[in-house]
Structure 1
Amino acid sequence: MWLNEQQISAEAVRGYRQQLKHSCPRHLVLDNLFDPQKLQAVSRVLQRSSHWQTQQHSYAALYVDAAQWQQTPQAERFVQRDLWQRSSAAQGDDAEQLALAFLQFLRSETFLALLSRIFRVQLTDIHVAKPTLNTNYFRLSAADFVNLHADDSPGREVCMLLYLNEDWQSGAGGELMFAADGNSPVAIAPLFNRCVLFDPASPGAEHWVNAVSSALPGHYRYNVTSWYWTE
């Protein structure tokens, strides 16, 4: 079982619903939602140098290739990061199979039902053409960035970010920043086994990521990003 049972009790879910009513944007920060030992095993897999490929998005187009990227003005670039290649990991060892199994769990009926209970919506992958494209591992180095953007899209009800950074230090950067009310952005440190759930259509849900510190060469910020849809 991937989930920490104490964090998903009926009482806990009622508490999460209350928090959602009073947060801007409509979001939750849940620490220790998942089994820490299993996540540590996943974290070790992600620290391998294999199966990573650079991904770049502009405000005009997603998945921009190298030639297009060079022609894109700096102000129009909003994402540069590494994406874990699930297809190349599929033939890997037991540890890599565990990392793949966790991604599969995050799209399972069990996990979708939990998110549905918390947000009081009916999440489903029945109309999602390629669900696996909506859940994957990412990493950021000091050279990478995720600039201000919104994740709202018709039918997209919940976004999840889960951090897999063991021993993340204060001053290392990498905080998730919600625009919130425009005057006081909400900062969330990317601590290990910290899960952020949010409604991408709620006011103040626009967000960015603070730069990872360049004082730690070869250092990466790891996370899972997952998007969930209604019918």
Structure 2
Amino acid sequence: MAQTTRRSFLRGALALGLVPGLASVASADDQVLETASARLQTRPMTFLVARDGEIRLSGFEDSVTRFEAYAVSANEVRDPDAFSWVVERVQAVRDFIQGFSWDDALGDFAMGDDNDTETCTAYLEDLSDGEALRLSRELEAWFAEPPSPDERYSPDIVRPLDGVGMAYALFAHGELWQAVDRLGLVEIDGASPGNDYRGMQLEISVVEANAAAGALGLPIRFEEDAR
């Protein structure tokens, strides 16, 4: 089990771009996995444990733009064909387009109160070249900013925005359920109205968790969060 768990962990770490010097990859062969393992053995991932047990990946940069969070490129924003997929996939983009459609003369949204994919697409097709260019530029500027607090737990977010989200993305993975159990971790998924928090909580001591990680061959360690 330990070998299978270790490989699953390494694949997850690679997919999230958490291995120093290795780009994010969706799949990896044995050689890449061994390279990842060697690098993480030298620099193990550290998870800080809060007083309530919440864990977060230490050293993770929180300055993620919407481009990164939603996995959208500037070219996709500029290309109408590619952008149609972005409109369909990201609710926050549809909200932005609806806001862009506000008409002071009407005192209302030109595209109406609905901002589903079909309504947004129809509105975009009716824009003049000048309006389309202005929308594209405003969207590029919007994507270059970090997501707002209201967006943090959106299901459309692809890349975690902070250390807590990254820990959740790494461990809340079907193939790692045995490791999660052995490490004393519990998944907290508050995907319900008024509570969108998602995280992992440690329910055993740091010493016990580190011993379990060693037994599983995982290149990680847990430390008490001094904050």
In terms of Rg, which structure is larger?
Answer: 2
Q: TM-score, normalised by structure 1?
A: 0.30
Q: TM-score, normalised by structure 2?
A: 0.31
Report the structure, 1 or 2, having the larger strand content.
1
